Structure 1
Amino acid sequence: MKDENKFIIVSQNVRNSVISSSILNCNVQHLGASILCVQEPNYYNSTINGFPKMNIFNHKEKPRSAIVSSLNNIIGLSQFTTSHCTTVMINTNNPIILSSVYLSRNIDHALFNAEVDLISNLFNEMSHYPIIVTGDFNSHHPIWGSSNVDNRGDAIIEMVIRDNLFVMNDGSFTFENHQGTSHIDITIINHNALPLTSNWRTVDIESGSDHKLIAFDIGFNSFNDKCSSTRKYVTKKY
Protein backbone atom coordinates (compact mmCIF):
# COMPACT_ATOMS: atom_id res chain seq x y z
CA MET A 1 0.00 0.00 0.00
CA LYS A 2 1.39 3.42 -0.99
CA ASP A 3 2.28 5.75 1.88
CA GLU A 4 0.35 8.99 1.31
CA ASN A 5 2.95 10.88 3.35
CA LYS A 6 5.74 9.99 0.88
CA PHE A 7 5.61 11.34 -2.66
CA ILE A 8 7.57 13.17 -5.36
CA ILE A 9 6.85 16.72 -6.52
CA VAL A 10 8.05 18.01 -9.88
CA SER A 11 8.18 21.58 -11.17
CA GLN A 12 8.68 22.93 -14.68
CA ASN A 13 7.95 25.88 -16.95
CA VAL A 14 6.30 24.41 -20.06
CA ARG A 15 6.41 27.70 -22.01
CA ASN A 16 2.72 27.73 -22.87
CA SER A 17 3.17 24.59 -24.98
CA VAL A 18 0.66 21.75 -25.22
CA ILE A 19 3.42 19.45 -26.46
CA SER A 20 5.69 20.30 -23.50
CA SER A 21 2.72 19.81 -21.17
CA SER A 22 2.02 16.38 -22.62
CA ILE A 23 5.69 15.38 -22.35
CA LEU A 24 5.74 16.59 -18.75
CA ASN A 25 2.67 14.50 -18.03
CA CYS A 26 4.47 11.42 -19.41
CA ASN A 27 7.66 12.24 -17.48
CA VAL A 28 5.67 12.52 -14.27
CA GLN A 29 4.36 9.00 -14.75
CA HIS A 30 7.89 7.76 -15.52
CA LEU A 31 9.25 9.38 -12.34
CA GLY A 32 6.34 8.24 -10.20
CA ALA A 33 5.56 11.81 -9.17
CA SER A 34 2.18 12.68 -7.67
CA ILE A 35 2.15 16.47 -7.96
CA LEU A 36 3.21 18.87 -10.72
CA CYS A 37 3.92 22.55 -10.23
CA VAL A 38 3.53 24.08 -13.68
CA GLN A 39 4.62 27.52 -14.84
CA GLU A 40 3.40 29.15 -18.06
CA PRO A 41 0.78 26.44 -18.64
CA ASN A 42 -1.07 26.29 -21.93
CA TYR A 43 -4.67 27.33 -21.37
CA TYR A 44 -7.86 28.27 -23.17
CA ASN A 45 -10.61 30.22 -21.38
CA SER A 46 -8.68 29.59 -18.14
CA THR A 47 -8.79 25.81 -18.66
CA ILE A 48 -5.32 24.24 -18.45
CA ASN A 49 -4.48 21.91 -21.35
CA GLY A 50 -2.23 18.86 -21.55
CA PHE A 51 -3.13 17.06 -18.34
CA PRO A 52 -6.21 14.88 -18.92
CA LYS A 53 -7.89 13.12 -16.00
CA MET A 54 -5.88 15.13 -13.47
CA ASN A 55 -6.98 17.48 -10.71
CA ILE A 56 -5.91 20.98 -11.71
CA PHE A 57 -5.71 24.11 -9.55
CA ASN A 58 -5.18 27.58 -11.00
CA HIS A 59 -6.46 31.13 -10.91
CA LYS A 60 -9.45 31.65 -13.15
CA GLU A 61 -8.07 34.73 -14.90
CA LYS A 62 -5.11 34.34 -17.27
CA PRO A 63 -3.39 31.62 -15.23
CA ARG A 64 0.40 31.82 -15.38
CA SER A 65 0.88 29.00 -12.89
CA ALA A 66 -0.93 25.82 -11.92
CA ILE A 67 -0.73 22.77 -9.69
CA VAL A 68 -1.70 19.43 -11.22
CA SER A 69 -2.11 16.17 -9.33
CA SER A 70 -3.46 12.65 -9.43
CA LEU A 71 -4.19 12.92 -5.71
CA ASN A 72 -7.66 13.66 -4.39
CA ASN A 73 -6.63 15.04 -1.00
CA ILE A 74 -5.75 18.55 -2.21
CA ILE A 75 -7.68 21.76 -1.69
CA GLY A 76 -7.02 25.18 -3.21
CA LEU A 77 -6.16 28.17 -1.03
CA SER A 78 -7.74 31.08 -2.88
CA GLN A 79 -6.43 33.72 -0.45
CA PHE A 80 -2.88 32.91 -1.61
CA THR A 81 -3.67 32.35 -5.28
CA THR A 82 -3.25 34.86 -8.11
CA SER A 83 -2.61 34.56 -11.82
CA HIS A 84 1.09 34.25 -10.98
CA CYS A 85 0.94 32.11 -7.83
CA THR A 86 -1.17 28.99 -7.25
CA THR A 87 -1.36 27.68 -3.68
CA VAL A 88 -2.88 24.47 -2.33
CA MET A 89 -2.96 22.40 0.83
CA ILE A 90 -2.07 18.71 0.57
CA ASN A 91 -4.15 16.97 3.22
CA THR A 92 -1.87 14.17 4.38
CA ASN A 93 -1.64 13.17 8.04
CA ASN A 94 0.67 16.18 8.32
CA PRO A 95 -0.79 18.77 5.89
CA ILE A 96 1.64 20.55 3.58
CA ILE A 97 1.18 23.85 1.75
CA LEU A 98 2.55 24.06 -1.79
CA SER A 99 2.79 27.02 -4.18
CA SER A 100 3.66 27.11 -7.88
CA VAL A 101 5.00 30.51 -8.95
CA TYR A 102 5.70 32.18 -12.28
CA LEU A 103 7.06 35.73 -12.24
CA SER A 104 7.69 36.80 -15.81
CA ARG A 105 10.70 38.96 -16.52
CA ASN A 106 8.25 41.32 -18.27
CA ILE A 107 6.14 42.19 -15.22
CA ASP A 108 6.87 45.54 -13.63
CA HIS A 109 8.65 46.13 -10.34
CA ALA A 110 5.44 46.88 -8.42
CA LEU A 111 3.73 43.64 -9.45
CA PHE A 112 6.85 41.61 -8.73
CA ASN A 113 7.05 43.08 -5.23
CA ALA A 114 3.34 42.48 -4.66
CA GLU A 115 3.74 38.79 -5.51
CA VAL A 116 6.80 38.47 -3.27
CA ASP A 117 4.81 40.13 -0.48
CA LEU A 118 2.02 37.58 -1.02
CA ILE A 119 4.53 34.73 -0.72
CA SER A 120 6.00 36.30 2.43
CA ASN A 121 2.50 36.62 3.90
CA LEU A 122 1.91 32.94 3.14
CA PHE A 123 5.06 31.95 5.00
CA ASN A 124 4.13 34.10 7.98
CA GLU A 125 0.38 33.54 8.25
CA MET A 126 0.62 29.77 7.71
CA SER A 127 3.96 29.23 9.44
CA HIS A 128 2.68 26.35 11.59
CA TYR A 129 2.44 24.24 8.40
CA PRO A 130 5.30 22.93 6.24
CA ILE A 131 5.40 25.29 3.24
CA ILE A 132 7.09 24.75 -0.15
CA VAL A 133 7.19 27.47 -2.81
CA THR A 134 8.69 26.53 -6.17
CA GLY A 135 8.72 27.96 -9.66
CA ASP A 136 10.25 30.28 -12.22
CA PHE A 137 11.14 33.56 -10.51
CA ASN A 138 13.33 34.98 -13.31
CA SER A 139 15.65 36.22 -10.57
CA HIS A 140 19.39 35.98 -10.10
CA HIS A 141 21.52 35.44 -7.01
CA PRO A 142 24.61 33.31 -6.19
CA ILE A 143 22.65 31.56 -3.42
CA TRP A 144 20.91 29.46 -6.08
CA GLY A 145 23.82 29.38 -8.51
CA SER A 146 23.70 32.59 -10.55
CA SER A 147 26.94 34.37 -11.37
CA ASN A 148 25.29 37.75 -10.82
CA VAL A 149 22.76 39.50 -8.59
CA ASP A 150 19.77 41.54 -9.73
CA ASN A 151 17.15 43.55 -7.83
CA ARG A 152 14.71 40.65 -7.96
CA GLY A 153 17.27 38.29 -6.48
CA ASP A 154 18.00 40.77 -3.70
CA ALA A 155 14.26 41.04 -2.93
CA ILE A 156 13.90 37.27 -2.66
CA ILE A 157 16.99 36.90 -0.47
CA GLU A 158 15.69 39.67 1.80
CA MET A 159 12.50 37.63 2.22
CA VAL A 160 14.47 34.43 2.85
CA ILE A 161 16.54 36.09 5.59
CA ARG A 162 13.64 38.00 7.16
CA ASP A 163 11.30 35.01 7.27
CA ASN A 164 13.99 32.46 8.21
CA LEU A 165 13.55 30.39 5.07
CA PHE A 166 15.68 27.88 3.17
CA VAL A 167 16.67 27.75 -0.51
CA MET A 168 16.73 24.13 -1.71
CA ASN A 169 18.63 24.65 -4.99
CA ASP A 170 22.00 22.90 -5.21
CA GLY A 171 23.56 25.36 -7.68
CA SER A 172 22.62 23.46 -10.85
CA PHE A 173 21.42 25.53 -13.80
CA THR A 174 17.68 25.29 -14.41
CA PHE A 175 17.39 26.85 -17.87
CA GLU A 176 19.29 26.14 -21.08
CA ASN A 177 18.99 27.34 -24.66
CA HIS A 178 21.28 28.23 -27.57
CA GLN A 179 22.44 31.36 -25.73
CA GLY A 180 23.61 29.51 -22.64
CA THR A 181 22.38 28.51 -19.19
CA SER A 182 20.92 30.30 -16.20
CA HIS A 183 19.56 29.69 -12.71
CA ILE A 184 16.08 31.22 -12.56
CA ASP A 185 13.91 28.45 -11.08
CA ILE A 186 13.93 28.38 -7.29
CA THR A 187 12.51 26.23 -4.50
CA ILE A 188 12.06 27.87 -1.09
CA ILE A 189 10.82 26.15 2.07
CA ASN A 190 10.18 27.05 5.70
CA HIS A 191 11.57 25.43 8.83
CA ASN A 192 8.64 23.03 9.20
CA ALA A 193 9.20 21.68 5.67
CA LEU A 194 12.91 21.14 6.23
CA PRO A 195 12.66 17.67 7.85
CA LEU A 196 10.21 16.52 5.15
CA THR A 197 11.87 17.74 1.96
CA SER A 198 14.94 16.13 0.38
CA ASN A 199 16.81 15.21 -2.79
CA TRP A 200 16.20 18.41 -4.78
CA ARG A 201 17.51 17.78 -8.29
CA THR A 202 17.26 18.72 -11.94
CA VAL A 203 16.29 15.69 -14.04
CA ASP A 204 18.16 14.98 -17.28
CA ILE A 205 15.20 13.91 -19.39
CA GLU A 206 13.64 15.02 -22.67
CA SER A 207 11.03 17.62 -21.83
CA GLY A 208 10.29 19.84 -24.82
CA SER A 209 11.04 22.91 -22.70
CA ASP A 210 14.18 25.00 -22.24
CA HIS A 211 13.56 24.83 -18.49
CA LYS A 212 14.91 21.81 -16.64
CA LEU A 213 12.47 19.51 -14.91
CA ILE A 214 12.99 19.91 -11.15
CA ALA A 215 12.05 17.15 -8.71
CA PHE A 216 12.23 16.70 -4.95
CA ASP A 217 11.02 14.15 -2.44
CA ILE A 218 8.58 14.61 0.41
CA GLY A 219 8.78 12.43 3.51
CA PHE A 220 11.61 10.14 2.41
CA ASN A 221 14.38 11.49 4.66
CA SER A 222 14.21 12.63 8.26
CA PHE A 223 16.50 15.64 7.77
CA ASN A 224 17.90 17.57 4.84
CA ASP A 225 21.56 18.42 5.57
CA LYS A 226 22.16 19.98 2.14
CA CYS A 227 19.26 22.38 2.46
CA SER A 228 20.22 23.27 6.02
CA SER A 229 23.76 24.16 4.97
CA THR A 230 22.43 26.27 2.09
CA ARG A 231 20.65 28.53 4.59
CA LYS A 232 23.92 29.29 6.43
CA TYR A 233 25.26 31.12 3.39
CA VAL A 234 22.25 33.39 2.99
CA THR A 235 23.66 35.87 5.47
CA LYS A 236 26.77 36.47 3.36
CA LYS A 237 27.06 39.79 1.56
CA TYR A 238 27.35 39.93 -2.24
Structure 2
Amino acid sequence: MFKVIQVNLHHSKAATAALNQHLHQVGMDMALIQEPWINKNAVMGLNTSDDLVAAYVALPRLNGARLVVCSAYLPGEAPNPSMQLAALVEYCEDQKVPLLIGCDSNAHHTGWGSTNTNQRGEELFSFIMSNNLEIINSGCVPTFVTRARQEVLDITLCSERFANHIKGWHVSDDASLSDHRYVRFDITLTLEKTAEAYRDPKTTDWEGYRASLMMNPRNFGTTQLA
Protein backbone atom coordinates (compact mmCIF):
# COMPACT_ATOMS: atom_id res chain seq x y z
CA MET A 1 0.00 0.00 0.00
CA PHE A 2 1.27 3.47 -0.93
CA LYS A 3 0.53 6.33 1.47
CA VAL A 4 -0.14 9.55 -0.45
CA ILE A 5 -0.43 13.16 0.70
CA GLN A 6 -1.65 16.11 -1.39
CA VAL A 7 -1.26 19.80 -0.52
CA ASN A 8 -0.83 23.33 -1.90
CA LEU A 9 2.07 24.94 0.01
CA HIS A 10 1.14 28.51 -1.03
CA HIS A 11 4.86 29.29 -1.63
CA SER A 12 5.38 29.16 2.15
CA LYS A 13 8.71 28.35 3.81
CA ALA A 14 6.93 27.37 7.03
CA ALA A 15 4.47 25.11 5.18
CA THR A 16 7.37 23.42 3.35
CA ALA A 17 9.16 22.79 6.65
CA ALA A 18 5.95 21.42 8.18
CA LEU A 19 5.45 19.08 5.21
CA ASN A 20 9.02 17.78 5.38
CA GLN A 21 8.58 17.06 9.08
CA HIS A 22 5.21 15.39 8.43
CA LEU A 23 6.69 13.22 5.67
CA HIS A 24 9.48 12.11 8.02
CA GLN A 25 7.20 11.39 10.99
CA VAL A 26 4.31 9.72 9.18
CA GLY A 27 6.36 7.91 6.54
CA MET A 28 4.48 8.92 3.39
CA ASP A 29 5.43 7.25 0.11
CA MET A 30 4.33 10.01 -2.25
CA ALA A 31 3.54 13.73 -2.08
CA LEU A 32 1.49 15.64 -4.69
CA ILE A 33 2.46 19.28 -4.14
CA GLN A 34 1.28 22.52 -5.71
CA GLU A 35 2.77 26.06 -5.36
CA PRO A 36 6.07 25.12 -3.64
CA TRP A 37 8.28 27.60 -1.78
CA ILE A 38 10.20 29.77 -4.28
CA ASN A 39 13.21 32.01 -3.58
CA LYS A 40 15.02 33.90 -6.36
CA ASN A 41 13.33 31.77 -9.04
CA ALA A 42 14.55 28.56 -7.40
CA VAL A 43 12.48 25.94 -5.62
CA MET A 44 13.47 25.60 -1.99
CA GLY A 45 13.03 22.34 -0.11
CA LEU A 46 11.73 20.54 -3.21
CA ASN A 47 12.99 19.97 -6.74
CA THR A 48 10.41 21.45 -9.11
CA SER A 49 8.31 24.57 -9.66
CA ASP A 50 6.23 23.55 -12.67
CA ASP A 51 2.44 23.91 -12.54
CA LEU A 52 2.17 20.31 -13.73
CA VAL A 53 4.55 17.47 -12.93
CA ALA A 54 3.90 13.86 -13.93
CA ALA A 55 5.84 10.65 -13.47
CA TYR A 56 5.47 6.93 -14.11
CA VAL A 57 5.21 4.75 -11.01
CA ALA A 58 5.73 0.99 -11.24
CA LEU A 59 3.22 -1.22 -9.47
CA PRO A 60 5.00 -4.60 -9.27
CA ARG A 61 2.26 -6.31 -7.26
CA LEU A 62 -0.28 -5.48 -9.98
CA ASN A 63 1.34 -7.68 -12.63
CA GLY A 64 3.99 -5.07 -13.35
CA ALA A 65 1.41 -2.41 -14.26
CA ARG A 66 2.40 1.23 -14.43
CA LEU A 67 0.58 4.29 -13.13
CA VAL A 68 1.07 7.91 -14.17
CA VAL A 69 0.92 10.19 -11.12
CA CYS A 70 0.42 13.92 -11.63
CA SER A 71 0.48 17.00 -9.42
CA ALA A 72 -1.35 19.88 -11.11
CA TYR A 73 -1.89 23.52 -10.18
CA LEU A 74 -4.58 25.25 -12.27
CA PRO A 75 -4.14 29.04 -11.95
CA GLY A 76 -7.37 30.96 -11.52
CA GLU A 77 -6.64 33.26 -14.45
CA ALA A 78 -5.80 30.45 -16.93
CA PRO A 79 -8.05 28.15 -19.00
CA ASN A 80 -9.49 25.24 -17.05
CA PRO A 81 -8.20 22.61 -17.53
CA SER A 82 -4.74 23.68 -18.68
CA MET A 83 -3.46 22.58 -22.07
CA GLN A 84 -0.78 20.52 -20.31
CA LEU A 85 -3.30 18.62 -18.21
CA ALA A 86 -5.55 17.97 -21.20
CA ALA A 87 -2.56 16.66 -23.17
CA LEU A 88 -1.54 14.36 -20.30
CA VAL A 89 -5.05 12.92 -19.98
CA GLU A 90 -5.12 12.29 -23.73
CA TYR A 91 -1.69 10.64 -23.63
CA CYS A 92 -2.69 8.28 -20.81
CA GLU A 93 -5.92 7.38 -22.59
CA ASP A 94 -4.04 6.63 -25.83
CA GLN A 95 -1.45 4.54 -23.99
CA LYS A 96 -4.12 2.85 -21.84
CA VAL A 97 -2.19 3.77 -18.70
CA PRO A 98 -4.13 4.64 -15.51
CA LEU A 99 -3.72 8.22 -14.31
CA LEU A 100 -3.85 9.71 -10.81
CA ILE A 101 -4.11 13.51 -10.41
CA GLY A 102 -3.72 15.62 -7.28
CA CYS A 103 -4.99 19.05 -8.24
CA ASP A 104 -5.55 22.54 -6.84
CA SER A 105 -8.38 23.41 -9.21
CA ASN A 106 -9.06 27.01 -8.16
CA ALA A 107 -12.65 26.15 -9.13
CA HIS A 108 -15.95 25.47 -7.41
CA HIS A 109 -18.29 22.59 -8.16
CA THR A 110 -20.71 20.66 -5.96
CA GLY A 111 -19.52 17.52 -7.76
CA TRP A 112 -16.36 17.57 -5.62
CA GLY A 113 -17.96 19.06 -2.49
CA SER A 114 -17.75 22.83 -3.04
CA THR A 115 -20.45 25.04 -1.56
CA ASN A 116 -21.47 26.22 -5.03
CA THR A 117 -20.55 25.96 -8.72
CA ASN A 118 -18.82 28.62 -10.81
CA GLN A 119 -17.89 28.82 -14.50
CA ARG A 120 -14.40 27.39 -13.98
CA GLY A 121 -15.94 24.52 -12.08
CA GLU A 122 -18.43 23.80 -14.86
CA GLU A 123 -15.62 23.73 -17.43
CA LEU A 124 -13.43 21.40 -15.39
CA PHE A 125 -16.35 19.16 -14.43
CA SER A 126 -17.33 18.79 -18.10
CA PHE A 127 -13.72 17.84 -18.93
CA ILE A 128 -13.67 15.25 -16.13
CA MET A 129 -16.90 13.64 -17.28
CA SER A 130 -15.95 13.58 -20.96
CA ASN A 131 -12.61 11.88 -20.23
CA ASN A 132 -13.86 9.05 -17.99
CA LEU A 133 -12.12 10.36 -14.89
CA GLU A 134 -13.40 9.72 -11.37
CA ILE A 135 -13.59 12.32 -8.60
CA ILE A 136 -12.19 10.64 -5.49
CA ASN A 137 -13.15 13.44 -3.07
CA SER A 138 -15.56 12.27 -0.39
CA GLY A 139 -17.71 14.61 1.71
CA CYS A 140 -17.63 18.40 1.89
CA VAL A 141 -14.82 19.13 4.37
CA PRO A 142 -13.05 22.29 3.10
CA THR A 143 -9.53 21.88 1.75
CA PHE A 144 -8.89 25.66 1.59
CA VAL A 145 -9.32 27.56 4.86
CA THR A 146 -8.66 31.21 5.70
CA ARG A 147 -10.27 33.63 8.14
CA ALA A 148 -12.39 35.00 5.30
CA ARG A 149 -13.68 31.79 3.73
CA GLN A 150 -13.57 28.00 3.53
CA GLU A 151 -13.98 25.99 0.34
CA VAL A 152 -13.20 22.70 -1.41
CA LEU A 153 -10.67 23.64 -4.10
CA ASP A 154 -8.33 20.64 -4.00
CA ILE A 155 -9.52 17.57 -5.86
CA THR A 156 -8.17 14.10 -6.50
CA LEU A 157 -8.94 12.45 -9.83
CA CYS A 158 -8.08 9.12 -11.36
CA SER A 159 -8.87 6.97 -14.35
CA GLU A 160 -12.18 5.17 -14.01
CA ARG A 161 -10.60 1.72 -14.03
CA PHE A 162 -8.20 2.64 -11.21
CA ALA A 163 -10.73 4.12 -8.73
CA ASN A 164 -11.06 0.90 -6.70
CA HIS A 165 -7.36 1.10 -5.79
CA ILE A 166 -7.82 4.43 -3.96
CA LYS A 167 -8.75 3.98 -0.29
CA GLY A 168 -9.32 6.20 2.72
CA TRP A 169 -9.51 9.61 1.00
CA HIS A 170 -9.89 12.33 3.65
CA VAL A 171 -8.91 15.86 4.60
CA SER A 172 -6.36 15.64 7.42
CA ASP A 173 -6.61 17.54 10.71
CA ASP A 174 -2.81 17.84 10.89
CA ALA A 175 -1.54 21.44 10.70
CA SER A 176 -0.08 22.26 7.28
CA LEU A 177 0.88 25.93 7.99
CA SER A 178 -0.65 26.68 4.56
CA ASP A 179 -4.10 27.98 3.66
CA HIS A 180 -4.65 24.54 2.09
CA ARG A 181 -5.11 21.47 4.28
CA TYR A 182 -3.46 18.10 3.73
CA VAL A 183 -5.41 15.56 1.67
CA ARG A 184 -4.58 11.95 2.53
CA PHE A 185 -5.33 8.63 0.85
CA ASP A 186 -3.78 5.25 0.12
CA ILE A 187 -3.14 3.36 -3.11
CA THR A 188 -3.76 -0.34 -2.60
CA LEU A 189 -1.71 -2.84 -4.59
CA THR A 190 -4.33 -5.56 -4.29
CA LEU A 191 -8.06 -5.30 -4.86
CA GLU A 192 -10.38 -6.08 -1.99
CA LYS A 193 -13.96 -7.26 -2.34
CA THR A 194 -15.27 -4.68 0.14
CA ALA A 195 -16.72 -1.55 -1.46
CA GLU A 196 -15.09 1.84 -0.87
CA ALA A 197 -17.14 5.03 -1.02
CA TYR A 198 -16.02 7.79 -3.38
CA ARG A 199 -17.74 10.59 -5.26
CA ASP A 200 -19.25 9.40 -8.57
CA PRO A 201 -20.92 12.33 -10.38
CA LYS A 202 -22.03 10.01 -13.20
CA THR A 203 -24.69 8.53 -10.89
CA THR A 204 -26.00 11.90 -9.67
CA ASP A 205 -29.43 13.13 -10.77
CA TRP A 206 -28.14 16.46 -12.10
CA GLU A 207 -31.50 17.41 -13.65
CA GLY A 208 -33.16 16.94 -10.28
CA TYR A 209 -30.36 18.87 -8.60
CA ARG A 210 -30.75 21.82 -10.97
CA ALA A 211 -34.53 21.83 -10.52
CA SER A 212 -34.13 21.86 -6.72
CA LEU A 213 -31.50 24.58 -7.01
CA MET A 214 -33.85 26.81 -9.00
CA MET A 215 -36.71 26.27 -6.50
CA ASN A 216 -34.69 26.88 -3.34
CA PRO A 217 -31.09 28.08 -3.96
CA ARG A 218 -30.48 28.85 -0.27
CA ASN A 219 -30.36 25.13 0.50
CA PHE A 220 -27.28 24.82 -1.68
CA GLY A 221 -25.30 27.78 -0.32
CA THR A 222 -25.87 29.91 -3.42
CA THR A 223 -27.49 33.25 -4.18
CA GLN A 224 -30.25 33.51 -6.75
CA LEU A 225 -29.51 36.08 -9.41
CA ALA A 226 -32.13 38.59 -10.53
Q: Which residue of 1 aligns with 2:147?
A: 178
1:137 and 2:93 matched: no
Structure 1-normalised TM-score? 0.76
Structural mapping, 1:27-66, within 5 Å: 27-44=22-39, 47-51=42-46, 56=47, 58=48, 63=49
1:87 and 2:54 matched: yes
1:192 and 2:187 matched: no
What secondary structure, in the 3-state scheme, does the structure 2 residue paired with 1:91 have? Answer: strand
Judged with a 3 Å threshold, the aligned counterparts in structure 2 of structure 1 residues 31 and 235 are, in CA distance, closer, same or farther, namely farther
- Does the aligned pair in 1 maintain the 2:175–2:181 contact within 8 Å? no
What secondary structure, in the 3-state scheme, does the structure 1 residue paired with 2:200 have? Answer: helix
Judged with a 3 Å threshold, the aligned counterparts in structure 2 of structure 1 residues 84 and 22 are, in CA distance, closer, same or farther, namely same
For residues 125-176 of structure 1, what are the alpha-carbon distances to aligned partners after superposition, in whole Å with 9 as ceiling and x for unaligned? 34x2221111211011001111211121111111221112110111221011
Structure ID, larger Rg: 2
- How far is 1:192 from its partner? 2.8
For residues 178-207 of structure 1, what are the alpha-carbon distances to aligned partners after superposition, in whole Å with 9 as ceiling and x for unaligned? 012101001111123212111111110111
Q: Which residue of 2 aligns with 1:232?
A: 202
Q: Which residue of 2 aligns with 1:97?
A: 68
- Does the aligned pair in 2 maintain the 1:198–1:221 contact within 8 Å? no
Structure 1 residue ranges without an equivalent (≥5): 1-5, 64-82
Q: Distance in 2 between matches of 1:23 and 1:177?
A: 18
Output the amino acid matched with 1:152: R
Q: Distance in 2 between matches of 1:45 and 1:97?
A: 31
Output the amino acid matched with 2:183: I
Q: Distance in 2 between matches of 1:115 and 1:89?
A: 16
- Does the aligned pair in 1 maintain the 2:133–2:158 contact within 8 Å? yes
Q: Distance in 1 between matches of 2:82 and 2:160?
A: 23
Q: Distance in 2 between matches of 1:166 and 1:176?
A: 24
- How far is 1:116 from its partner? 4.7
- Does the aligned pair in 2 maintain the 1:161–1:234 contact within 8 Å? no
Judged with a 3 Å threshold, the aligned counterparts in structure 2 of structure 1 residues 211 and 221 are, in CA distance, closer, same or farther, namely farther
- Does the aligned pair in 2 maintain the 1:116–1:156 contact within 8 Å? no
What secondary structure, in the 3-state scheme, does the structure 2 residue paired with 1:12 have? Answer: strand
For residues 70-119 of structure 1, what are the alpha-carbon distances to aligned partners after superposition, in whole Å with 9 as ceiling and x for unaligned? xxxxxxxxxxxxx32111111231321111011122x233x755245234
Match of 2:90 among 96, 104, 121: 121
Structure 2-normalised TM-score? 0.79
% identical equivalent positions: 21
Stretch moving more, 213-222 or 153-162:
213-222
Q: Distance in 2 between matches of 1:45 and 1:85?
A: 20
Q: Distance in 1 between matches of 2:134 and 2:12?
A: 31
For residues 23-47 of structure 1, what are the alpha-carbon distances to aligned partners after superposition, in whole Å with 9 as ceiling and x for unaligned? 0111122322111111100134664
What secondary structure, in the 3-state scheme, does the structure 2 residue paired with 1:95 have? Answer: strand
- How far is 1:234 from its partner? 5.2
- How far is 1:235 from its partner? 6.4
What secondary structure, in the 3-state scheme, does the structure 1 residue paired with 2:164 have? Answer: coil
| Residues matched between the structures, number | 201
Q: Distance in 2 between matches of 1:207 and 1:36?
A: 13
Stretch moving more, 39-48 or 91-100:
39-48
Judged with a 3 Å threshold, the aligned counterparts in structure 2 of structure 1 residues 89 and 220 are, in CA distance, closer, same or farther, namely closer
1:160 and 2:122 matched: no
